[in-house]
Structure 1
Amino acid sequence: MTDLLAISTYPAEAPSADPLAPRAQQGRRSDRFATARRVAFGVFVLAMVVDFMASAAPTVVSTIRSTTTASPWWLLTGLACTVASMVAFSALRGWTLAVGGCRISLRQTVPISYAAGAVHTTLPAGAVFSTTYAFRRLRAAGASMSGITWSLTITGLLSTLTLGAIGLLGVALSGGISSSAPTAITQLLVTALVIAGLVRVARKPEALARLAHSVLTRFNTLRQRPVQTGHVRLAEILTDLNAVRSSGRDWLVALTLALTNWFLDLACLAACLAAVGIHVSFAVLLLTYTAGMAAGSLLPLPGGLGAVETTMTLALTVAGAVAAPALAGVLLYRVLSTGSVVVLGWIVIATQRSRTSRTAGRHAPVY
C-alpha cells in the first residue's frame, strides 16, 4: 500500500516543477540575447569610431600641426582682444546700472562678469545660474533690485540687437541675401520694440503701476490672501524704477559698448585665424562669427561646445579655407575666448569663497 502511495505521488509532483523550467530557460535565452545585442552594438560603435578616426586622422594630424606652429604674437593679440572684450562688456553692465540709479565701479563689475561667464559656460542651465550669481554679487555691491533687473535685461537685449546687426552687416558686405535675413531682421525689430517699450515704461511708470497693483489684487483674491499682500513691496520696486533715467547719450554709449564687446571678440577670432595662416574677407569673418554664436545659443550645451566649433569651421571651409588650419584657428579662438573666461572666472569664485570663509572664521564665536 505504501509503495502504491509512493508511486501515485510522483505524477502529482512532476507537473508542479515543469511550469518553472520553460520560464527559466526563456529567461536565460533572453539574457543571452540581451548580452549579444549589447556586444553587437558595442562592436558597431567601435567600428564606427575606428572608421571615423581613420578617415579623420589626416585632418586631426594637420590640425595639431597647425596649432603647434601658430604664431605666438597673433595669439597674444587675440588674448588681449578677448580681455578687452570682457572689459567692454563689464563697462556696459556698469553703465546700464548707472542709468538704473546704481553706481558700481568697473573694478567690481569685471570680476563679476568673469565669474558669471564661467558659471554660464561650464554648468548645465548655466544661464540661470550665472544670472542668479550676477544678481547676488551686484546686490552685495550695493545695487538695488530694480536697477540690477534693468541692467541685466537691457544688457542682454542690447547684446542680441548688436549681434544681429553684425550678422546683417556681414550679409550686406557679402553681396548676397541669406535665407535667414528676414528672420534676423524680424528679431532685430522685435528686440528694438521691446527696448523701446522698456524705456517707455521706465520714463512713465504710472500706467504700469496701476496695472501691476490691479493684477496683484486679483492674484491675492484667487489665492485667498489678504488683498494688500505684496502691495508695499511692489510700490518699493516701482519707486526704484523711477530712478531709471536714460537719455539719448546713455543709449549711444550703451550701443557703442555692446558693439565694442562683439567686435573685440571678433578680433580675437581674426587673430587666431591669422596665427595659423588663414586670412579671410571681413564679410566672411562677420558671417562666420555670427553663425557660430547663433549655433552656440541654440543648443543646450555648456558654452555651445561642439556646435560653435563645427559651425565656424564649416563656414570657413565653405569660404575656401583649408579644413585643418580652419579647425585649428577656431579651436585656438575658443581656448582664448572661452577658456580664459572659464579659468579666470573660477579663480574669481574661488577667491571670493576663500575670503568669505576667512571672514566667517574671524567672526566665529570662541568658546
Structure 2
Amino acid sequence: MTSLPLEELPRPLPAAVAVPARSLPSARLTRTALSLLPLLLIAGWAAIDRASLYDGVARLAAADPWWLLSGVVFTLLGWVSAACVRQGALPDRLPPGKLLASQFAAGAANHVLPASIGAHAVTLRFLQRQGVPLARATASLALYSLVRPIAKTFVLLVFVVSSPGLLHLGDLVPDRRTLLLPAVAVTLGLVTAALLLTFVRPLRGRVRTALTDVRLLHTRPSRVLALWGGAAAAPLLQAGVIFSVGAALGLSLSWTQVAFAFLAASTAVGAVPAPGGIGPVDAALVFALVAFGAPMGTATATVIGYRVLTVWVPLLPGALVLSALVQRKVL
C-alpha cells in the first residue's frame, strides 16, 4: 500500500471557515436593526417637535398649491445638485441612479445627526460599497465640505455686488462683536488643523491623497462643473423653495430679497452644529425676512413651511430608501 506524500494528505478545514455561516443570522439581525433605526429616530423626533410639525402642515394646507408644487420641484433639484457635488468631488465614476438614491437617503440621516454627520456617514458607506478606497472617499467628503461654504459665500458676494441698491442691508450687517465669534472659530480651526498635520503622520498621507485628487479633478471640465456648479446651485435652489413657500402664503418679498436673506442667514449661523441646520438658521432667516419688511407672522410661517417641505415631507420616504439601500447592501 502506497502512502501519500505528506503535502497531499487531506487536512481539516480551519475553524474560521465555519464562522461566516454561524454569524449569518447575526449579520441579518444587524442589517434589520440598521434598517429600522431611521424610522425609530423619525418617530422620536416627530413626538418631540410635534407642535411645529402640526403648525407647519396646517399653514401649508391653506396655501396656494401651485406655488407649493414649485417648492417641491426645487426640493427635488436640491438632491440632484448634492449628487452632482458628490460626483464632482471624486475622480471615480459613480452610478448616477444609486448616487442620487444615496443622497436622498443621506438627506434623512442629515436631519437626525448634527453637522452633516449623518449625510457624510451614509455617503462614506456608499463610496466604500462602490469600491472607492477609504482614503479617497474621506478626501472627497472633505472636499465636498470645503467647496459648499466657499461657493455659498461667492454667491452671496455676487448678490451684494450686483444689487447694491435693491438689497438694503440695514440690521443684517453684523457689528464687530458679532464678527469676532466666527473670526475666533476660523483661527482655532486653522491652528487645530496645523497641529494635527504636524503631529499625526497618517493624516499627512490622507492630505496628500486629497491634494492629488483635487489637482486631478480640476483638470477635468466635467468634474469642475459638477463640483462648483452644483455647490453654487444648492443655496439658490433652497432659496427657491423658501420663495415658493412664501409666495404660497402671501409673502410680498422679491426672489432676490428672499435669496439674499437665506444666504446671509445660513452663512452667518450655518456653522452651528444643529441637525440639518434647524434652529439657528431658522431664527436667523426669520430675522432676515423681517429686516426686509416681511410681517413677523408671515415670515415665521414661511420658514416653518420651508422646513416642512424640505425636512418632514421627504423624511419618511428618505428613511425608507435608506432602509432599502441597507437591505440591498448598497450601503
Provide TM-score, normalisation by structure 2.
0.64
Deviation at 1:345, TM superposition (A): 2.4
On the 8 A contact 1:75/1:272 being kept in 2, the answer is: yes
Match of 2:33 in 1: none
Match of 1:107 in 2: 97
1:80 aligned to 2:53?
no
2:224 aligned counterpart, secondary structure: helix
Match of 1:8 in 2: none
Counterpart AA for 2:298: P
2:328 aligned counterpart, secondary structure: helix
Please list the CA deviations of residues 30-84 of structure 1 after superposition, one character each: whole Å capped at 9, or x if unmatched.
Answer: xxxxxxxxxxxxxxxxxxxxxxxxxxxxxxxx98875432001111110011111
Matches within 5 A, 1:258-273: 258-273=231-246
Residue 82 (structure 2) aligned to one of 77, 81, 89: 89
Counterpart AA for 2:106: A
Match of 2:138 in 1: 149
Please list the CA deviations of residues 313-355 of structure 1 after superposition, one character each: whole Å capped at 9, or x if unmatched.
Answer: 2221221112222222211111112234433321122112333
Distance in 1 (alpha carbons) for counterparts of 2:300 and 2:214 = 48
Residue 132 (structure 1) aligned to one of 115, 121, 125: 121
Deviation at 1:297, TM superposition (A): 2.7
Q: 1:255 to 1:300 in 2, by over 3 A?
A: closer
Distance in 2 (alpha carbons) for counterparts of 1:309 and 1:288 = 11
Match of 2:252 in 1: 279
Distance in 2 (alpha carbons) for counterparts of 1:239 and 1:92 = 16
Deviation at 1:106, TM superposition (A): 1.6
Structure 1 gaps of 5+ residues are 1-61, 195-211, 220-229, 358-367
Deviation at 1:148, TM superposition (A): 1.8
Deviation at 1:305, TM superposition (A): 2.7
1:254 aligned to 2:227?
yes
Whose RCO is larger (CA < 8 A, sep 6+)?
2
Distance in 2 (alpha carbons) for counterparts of 1:302 and 1:281 = 29
Distance in 1 (alpha carbons) for counterparts of 2:86 and 2:317 = 18
On the 8 A contact 2:136/2:210 being kept in 1, the answer is: no
Distance in 2 (alpha carbons) for counterparts of 1:120 and 1:163 = 19
Counterpart AA for 1:326: A
Instruction: Count the aligned residue pairs.
Output: 255
Deviation at 1:165, TM superposition (A): 2.0
Distance in 2 (alpha carbons) for counterparts of 1:127 and 1:167 = 22
Distance in 1 (alpha carbons) for counterparts of 2:295 and 2:256 = 18
2:94 aligned counterpart, secondary structure: coil
Q: 1:335 to 1:243 in 2, by over 3 A?
A: closer
Distance in 2 (alpha carbons) for counterparts of 1:314 and 1:239 = 39
On the 8 A contact 1:147/1:244 being kept in 2, the answer is: no
On the 8 A contact 1:91/1:109 being kept in 2, the answer is: no
Match of 1:326 in 2: 299
- After superposing the two structures, state which structure 1 stretch, 239-248 or 250-259, moved more: 239-248
Match of 2:112 in 1: 122
Distance in 2 (alpha carbons) for counterparts of 1:337 and 1:278 = 18
Counterpart AA for 2:128: R
Q: Larger radius of gyration, structure 1 or 2?
A: 1
Match of 1:364 in 2: none
Deviation at 1:306, TM superposition (A): 2.7
Q: 1:68 to 1:322 in 2, by over 3 A?
A: farther
Distance in 1 (alpha carbons) for counterparts of 2:246 and 2:320 = 28
Distance in 2 (alpha carbons) for counterparts of 1:134 and 1:259 = 20
Q: 1:179 to 1:344 in 2, by over 3 A?
A: same
Please list the CA deviations of residues 158-216 of structure 1 after superposition, one character each: whole Å capped at 9, or x if unmatched.
Answer: 210111123233434244566459969x99xx9xxx9xxxxxxxxxxxxxxxxx9x977
Match of 2:26 in 1: none
Decide which structure has greater helix share. Answer: 1
| CA RMSD of superposed structures (Å) | 3.8
Q: 1:253 to 1:243 in 2, by over 3 A?
A: closer
Distance in 2 (alpha carbons) for counterparts of 1:139 and 1:314 = 42
